[in-house]
């Protein structure tokens, strides 16, 4: 009953906040829901001085939800599949090498840059943190969030060449980022095998390559099944079963579920697969189903992101560190993108100011918060959770709201 009650409350709150945003505020859903939920939670704090009923209800929900597990083990697979299903595979294939460089080299470089900067900054605020924990923070804040990026970029009207780079990077770099995070987490916690380059390579190949192979296998089976029938209702159910089975198998096989779902979504959503396996009516129903599910899960997810403010330990040094880390994380991302952009910009005809647009348009989101929630107290969980939350909220609200303006200012150079 608890699960059904909590789900009901979350869907109800999401519907009400979504209505308020659509009817009155009219911000992009990701931004609007986050802002409304934070404002609502702060109002609940104020009201709790008189009546704590609403505050107790919010705390009850958070206490009974493992946000990290819910997002990384379940919701992320559905959301990435939906995003990949509607990504132009042909354009992504043309940009595969820069996307690969951004999602691997870029994330790794950013991890060490952010970790080093954090290690040097925190003592100035009276906070002593070992380098390995700062590096752990660098790994969780470096990946951009496809969930936050996808909807905002489409509305901004960025050139398709640029959009596919940012979206493609965001679809893949969270899987790479999680692998880096887990490797450093194992080293920091002292659990697992001794650290070595061979062990890192083995983990990377197993998680990343294994996830991609699982996704391609599931995509191929799904394609063959859909090609052999013509019943849109059953074909929609087959795609749903593909995602749910993929999530379970990835956990059992210890491979990257997010990357498996990206691979499966790209394969099923590719133009050749669509033309060979889906009738026009099937294509319409599959697209509409996954668009609706994507909107529902996104709505619930960003309501939960807003509610997570309740678990923060808002000490002054933590808040100051979070504010200072905003420009530092942006600068580190800019530097990490510089070399890949320079290598590929002439050969693949990058639009002007690609590095600037990818820096500002690469939003952080719920994945970073989920990873921060997985830290232990020995890893300075309270500190890094506050810093992560501040960086993510700035990214979603300030960067998200200004992406369209930045696109408008740079448009002259693209025409």
Q: Provide the domain count of the chain.
A: 2
Provide CB contacts within 8 A for 290, sequence distance 6+. 81, 82, 85, 86, 239
Provide CB contacts within 8 A for 229, sequence distance 6+. 235
Q: Which of 42, 63, 84 is the last residue of a domain?
A: 63
CA distance 290 to 12: 20
pLDDT of residue 415: 59
pLDDT digits (tens, 9 = 90+) for 370-386: 999 999 999 999 999 99
**Are 223 and 346 members of one domain?**
yes
How many C-beta atoms lie closer than 10 Å to residue 18's C-beta? 21
How many C-beta atoms lie closer than 10 Å to residue 157's C-beta? 12
**Are 290 and 355 members of one domain?**
yes
At residue 26, the 3 state secondary structure works out as coil
pLDDT of residue 158: 73
What letters, b where the CB count within 10 A reaches 16 and e where it falls short, cover 236-247?
bebbbebbeebb
- 396 lies in which domain range? 68-414
**Are 50 and 132 members of one domain?**
no
**Are 206 and 229 members of one domain?**
yes
What the block records as the tokens of 47 is 């009201």
What the block records as the tokens of 206 is 């197993």
**Are 32 and 120 members of one domain?**
no
pLDDT of residue 215: 97
**Are 121 and 26 members of one domain?**
no
**Are 346 and 397 members of one domain?**
yes
**Are 257 and 176 members of one domain?**
yes
pLDDT of residue 220: 97
Contact present, 222 and 236 (Cβ < 8 Å): no
**Are 20 and 138 members of one domain?**
no
pLDDT of residue 121: 95
**Are 239 and 303 members of one domain?**
yes
Contact present, 328 and 121 (Cβ < 8 Å): yes
Residue 106 burial (10 A CB sphere; 0-12, 13-18, 19+) = buried
**Are 36 and 72 members of one domain?**
no
Place of tokens 């997985």: 374
**Are 144 and 92 members of one domain?**
yes
pLDDT digits (tens, 9 = 90+) for 204-258: 788 888 999 999 999 999 999 999 999 999 999 999 999 999 999 999 998 989 8
Closest to 332 in 3D by CA, of 379, 285, 391, 372:
391
- What CATH number is given to the structural domain containing 235? 1.20.1530.20
pLDDT of the chain, 415 residues: tens digit per residue: 488 999 999 999 999 999 999 999 998 888 999 999 999 999 999 999 899 999 999 998 998 899 999 998 899 899 999 989 988 888 888 888 999 999 999 999 999 999 999 999 999 999 999 999 999 999 999 999 876 666 676 667 778 788 888 888 888 887 788 878 988 888 888 755 555 667 667 777 888 889 999 999 999 999 999 999 999 999 999 999 999 999 999 999 989 898 999 999 999 999 989 999 999 999 999 999 999 999 899 899 999 999 999 989 999 999 999 999 999 999 999 999 999 998 998 887 788 888 898 999 889 989 999 999 999 999 999 999 999 999 999 999 999 999 888 888 887 666 5
């Amino acid at each position: 009953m608890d699960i059904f009650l909590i789900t009901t409350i979350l869907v109800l709150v999401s519907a009400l906040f979504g209505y308020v945003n659509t009817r009155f505020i009219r911000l992009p859903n990701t931004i609007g829901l986050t802002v409304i939920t934070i404002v609502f939670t702060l109002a609940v704090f104020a009201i709790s001085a008189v009546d704590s009923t609403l505050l107790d209800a919010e705390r009850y929900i958070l206490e009974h939800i493992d946000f990290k597990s819910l997002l990384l083990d379940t919701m992320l697979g559905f959301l990435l599949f939906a995003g990949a299903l509607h990504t132009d595979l042909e354009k992504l294939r043309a940009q595969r090498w820069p996307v690969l460089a951004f999602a691997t080299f870029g994330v790794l470089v950013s991890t060490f840059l952010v970790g080093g900067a954090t290690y040097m900054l925190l003592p100035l605020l009276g906070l002593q943190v070992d380098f390995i924990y700062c590096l752990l923070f660098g790994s969780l804040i470096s990946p951009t969030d496809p969930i936050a990026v996808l909807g905002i970029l489409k509305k901004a009207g960025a050139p398709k060449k640029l959009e596919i780079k940012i979206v493609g990077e965001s679809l893949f770099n969270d899987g790479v980022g999680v692998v880096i995070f887990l490797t450093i987490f194992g080293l920091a916690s002292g659990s697992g095998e001794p650290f070595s380059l061979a062990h890192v390579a083995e983990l990377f190949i197993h998680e990343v390559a294994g996830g991609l192979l699982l996704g391609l296998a599931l995509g191929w089976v799904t394609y063959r099944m859909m090609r052999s029938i013509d019943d849109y209702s059953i074909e929609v159910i087959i795609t749903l079963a593909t995602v749910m089975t993929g999530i379970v198998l990835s956990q059992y096989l210890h491979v990257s579920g997010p990357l498996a779902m990206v691979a499966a979504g790209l394969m099923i959503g590719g133009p050749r697969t669509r033309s060979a396996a889906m009738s026009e009516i099937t294509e319409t129903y599959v697209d509409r189903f996954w668009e609706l599910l994507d909107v529902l899960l996104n709505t619930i997810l960003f309501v939960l992101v807003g509610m997570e403010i309740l678990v923060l330990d808002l000490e002054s040094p933590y808040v100051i560190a979070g504010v200072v880390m905003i420009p530092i994380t942006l600068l580190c991302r800019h530097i990490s993108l510089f070399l890949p952009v320079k290598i590929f910009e002439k050969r693949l005809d990058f639009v002007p100011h690609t590095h600037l647009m990818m820096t500002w348009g690469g939003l952080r989101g719920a994945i970073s918060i989920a990873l921060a929630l997985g830290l232990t107290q020995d890893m300075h969980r309270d500190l890094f959770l506050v810093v992560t939350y501040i960086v993510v909220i700035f990214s979603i609200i300030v960067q998200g709201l200004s992406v369209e303006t930045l696109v408008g200012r740079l448009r002259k150079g693209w025409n």
